Structure formats: C-alpha cells, structure tokens
Amino acid sequence: MQALRIAVLIIFAVVTFPLTQAQDAESEITISRESAPDPTTFKLTQVAAGLTRPLYVTHAGDGSNRIFLVEQVGKVWILKNGLIQAQPFFDIEGLISPGAITNSFSEQGLLGLAFHSDYRDNGVFFVNYTDRRGGTVVARFRVDASNPDIADAASGQILFQLSQPYANHNGGHIEFGPDGYLYIALGDGGAANDPLGAGQNRQLLLGSILRIDVDSAAPYAIPPDNPFVDDLNARAEIWAYGLRNVWRFSFDRLTGDMYMADVGQNQWEEINFQPADSIGGENYGWNVWEGNHVFAGGNAPNHVPPIFDYSHAFGCSVTGGVIYRGEAIPDLQAVYLFGDWCSGRIWGIWRDPALAWQTRELMKTELPISSFGEDEAGEVYVIDYGGALYRFDPVGN
C-alpha cells in the first residue's frame, strides 16, 4: 500500500514538476515546491475585530462569499462585504456549557461548524459544542427559509452525543471530507496522561477522528468502507485513532489530503498527514507516543508518526491550519500553514521535489492563535482569540 502511495505521489510530482512556483494550467495541482516560501512577500491584515473569544472561521461554499465566524460563547457571525452583520447567524448560548461563557479560559463551548457539501441547495449545516453538562454534541441545523443570513433556531436535531469524563480535550472540529462524509475530532476525554487509555482503545470513541454519513440514515449511517466496520473490538465510527486532542484538521481542497494538528501534553506538539487515498485505520500514537517521542511506551500497532513535531521551547499548544490554495499569494502555494496558541509563531510545511517534508517558521506574531480557516476563494485567515480576524495578504497591496 505504501509503495502504491509513493508511486502515485511520484506520478503527481512528475506531472506538476517544474510548475512548483507558477502554474498556468487549471488541471495541474501543485503538491511540491522547489524552495521555501519567502516571509517578506506576505503579511497579516486585520479584517474584523470586536469578537468574543472567536475560535473558527469558514465559509458556506454556496457562492455567496460570506465568511462565518464562530465564537466559543455560542454565536456565529457573518462577515459580508467587510462588515460583521448586526444580528448573529446562529446563537446557542443557552445550550452550551456555562463554563464556556463565564471562565476566562475553557475548552468547552461552541467548537466547530461545517456546512453541508450541498448547502446551497439544502441549507443544512452542523455544529459541534459541549452542552450544559459538558458532553459533546454534534447537531444539524438549517438556514431560515426566508433569510440566508439567519439560521432557523428551531431546526436543531441532535446527531451525536457523548458524555465527557473531564472538561478538557473535547476536540471539536467537524468538516466534510471530499468523500461527502462528516469527520469529527474527539479528544482523549481530558485530565492528563490519558487516564482512560482512550487514545489506543478503539472501543472508545474518544481519542479518535470519526467518519459518519449524515445523508443515508437518521441520525447518521456508518460508511460501509470505514476501517473497523467488521472489527468487534472497535467502534465502527472510528476513522483514525491514537489522538490526544486534535485542534483543527483540514483537507487540501485540491488533493483531498488531510492534515491534523494534535495538541501534546507537556513537551511535543505535532502535525499528522493522511494522504487522500488512505483507507483509514491509522494509529497516530498517543499515549504510547507524544510526537516522535516515547510517552507511556508500549505497543502502538500501525503507528503513523507525525510529519513534524516541535518542543515547548517554541510554544505550548499547536493550532492546526490549512494548506494555502488561494491566488493572492503565489509564493504560499502548497504550503500548509499552522501556528501555536502560546508563542504566536506561524510555520509552513511543504514537500520538496523529492516529496520530503520541509518546515520553516514564517512569522512570530503576538496573537493567541485559536484557529486558521479559508474563504471560498481559498484565501487563508488567522483567528486572534482576543477578538480579531486576520487575513494573509501579499505585501505591496
């Protein structure tokens, strides 16, 4: 399997090489670069402010070019033509964990938002939040029938519910893959050291990324090709496991490759990579491993090590981002951008022409970086948990 993947990648590399910096045919997908991105060619521009603990930014994929901003306190705001609308698109402050509203820092609240792949036609979107008792909920909502800028608050249907043993490590990211299935990140349940052994225990949904079909049955169906559907010792929803607390994953919009940032405990933060042709079942190592370093030790079958890890000399908690596929900054093409919550550093990861992973620190900001995200055009944003939204812009504009 690995040999096949490498062969496929080499074919792609040959097809795209040497169009690594400037591509002129839409059918060509750049997956590698000959050189590092030059940090003097781009900057961060503040495009919105005044938000309350923003955690995520995304778009509806409906051609409206609206930007949706997720606040931990239970609200989603629309940024349209440069202005945050007067009324929130969505508001579930009354449903979420009280700690998410009253505490200065919490891992609870409204954590994820994903629009259905057919949102333009069906108006359906999904949220991930912790409820008033601290449990994880994934719910389906619908846009208001007469106003595209307001969600129908009465349309909520709970899809998925899971009690959480501790207040931290709730994961929270949800996103549709290129296969149309909904992927859900669940942390190991919390406390420290993974007391439940959730990372390596495939009978627990915690410590995993789930993959479910939201269209074929209510509340959801298991995709027939999920890796553990026939395994009596594993839950059928699990797509990948061995994860401590994935804080944002994303799919490359051109290739379908998946990038996952897994927050470490006290020493190592990591980025994991899953190629688009993965059949699932990857074990990302926790808590046998923390990054590329032995943690509890023991056996981690099918362990897939991260493509990058960094020590706490450079930060404290990784915030996963997205691979740049926009047009404004050609020099960032095919670079996966991510950062750190404590140090404000932003790094880029890319593959060189030999398809080896390369990494460089691109920026040292002063921001508590809670998330990255894309707009419809593929331009990339950074969320400042203090309340602002920044966009990567070319220098000179």
247 touches Ca ion (CB under 5 A): no
Give the shortest CB-188-to-Ca ion separation in angstroms.
11
Give the shortest CB-306-to-Ca ion separation in angstroms.
5
Cβ pair 251, 178 in contact under 8 A: yes
- Residue 274: closest CA among 264, 282, 266: 282
Choices 83-91, 96-104, 278-286, 381-389 (CB under 5 A): range interacting with Ca ion: 278-286
Positions in 307-366 near Ca ion (CB under 5 A): none
The two three-digit tokens of residue 109, written as one number: 């609240």
Nearer to Ca ion, 176 or 289 (CB): 289
Nearer to Ca ion, 257 or 379 (CB): 257
Choices 281-289, 321-329, 351-359, 368-376 (CB under 5 A): range interacting with Ca ion: 281-289
Give dist(CA 397, CA 37) in Å, integer. 18
Nearer to Ca ion, 66 or 173 (CB): 173
Nearer to Ca ion, 168 or 365 (CB): 168
42 DSSP β-pair partners: 394
Give dist(CA 289, CA 301) in Å, integer. 12
Give dist(CA 243, CA 230) in Å, integer. 22
Choices 78-86, 224-232, 276-284, 336-344 (CB under 5 A): range interacting with Ca ion: 276-284
Give the shortest CB-29-to-Ca ion separation in angstroms.
27
For Ca ion (CB under 5 A), the number of binding residues is 2
Q: First vs last Cα of the chain: how many Å apart?
A: 46
Choices 72-80, 115-123, 280-288, 294-302 (CB under 5 A): range interacting with Ca ion: 280-288
Give the shortest CB-285-to-Ca ion separation in angstroms.
3
* Locus of tokens 């688009």: 276
Give the shortest CB-101-to-Ca ion separation in angstroms.
32
Nearer to Ca ion, 19 or 307 (CB): 307
Segments in 246-318 forming alpha helices (H):
none
Give the shortest CB-310-to-Ca ion separation in angstroms.
13
Give dist(CA 295, CA 305) in Å, integer. 13
284 touches Ca ion (CB under 5 A): yes
Nearer to Ca ion, 77 or 273 (CB): 273
Binding string, residues 194-233; x marks residues near Ca ion by CB under 5 A: ----------------------------------------
Give the shortest CB-308-to-Ca ion separation in angstroms.
11
Choices 116-124, 201-209, 231-239, 277-285 (CB under 5 A): range interacting with Ca ion: 277-285
285 touches Ca ion (CB under 5 A): yes
Nearer to Ca ion, 210 or 214 (CB): 210
Give dist(CA 274, CA 307) in Å, integer. 10
Compute how many other C-beta atoms are within 10 angstroms of the C-beta atom of residue 280.
16
Cβ pair 308, 270 in contact under 8 A: yes
* Locus of tokens 């969600």: 151
Q: Cβ-closest residue to Ca ion? A: 285
295 touches Ca ion (CB under 5 A): no
By CB atoms closer than 10 A (0-12, 13-18, 19+), residue 167 is middle
Nearer to Ca ion, 260 or 363 (CB): 260
The two three-digit tokens of residue 84, written as one number: 């945050």
385 touches Ca ion (CB under 5 A): no
Which residues are within 8 A (CB) of 361 and not within 5 positions of it... i.e. 6 or more apart?
314, 345, 346, 347
* Locus of tokens 């992927």: 183
Give the shortest CB-9-to-Ca ion separation in angstroms.
22
- Residue 310: closest CA among 277, 273, 262, 276: 262
Which residues are within 8 A (CB) of 232 and not within 5 positions of it... i.e. 6 or more apart?
none
Nearer to Ca ion, 46 or 266 (CB): 266
Positions in 25-44 near Ca ion (CB under 5 A): none
Cβ pair 208, 170 in contact under 8 A: no
Binding residues for Ca ion, rule: CB under 5 A, are: 284-285
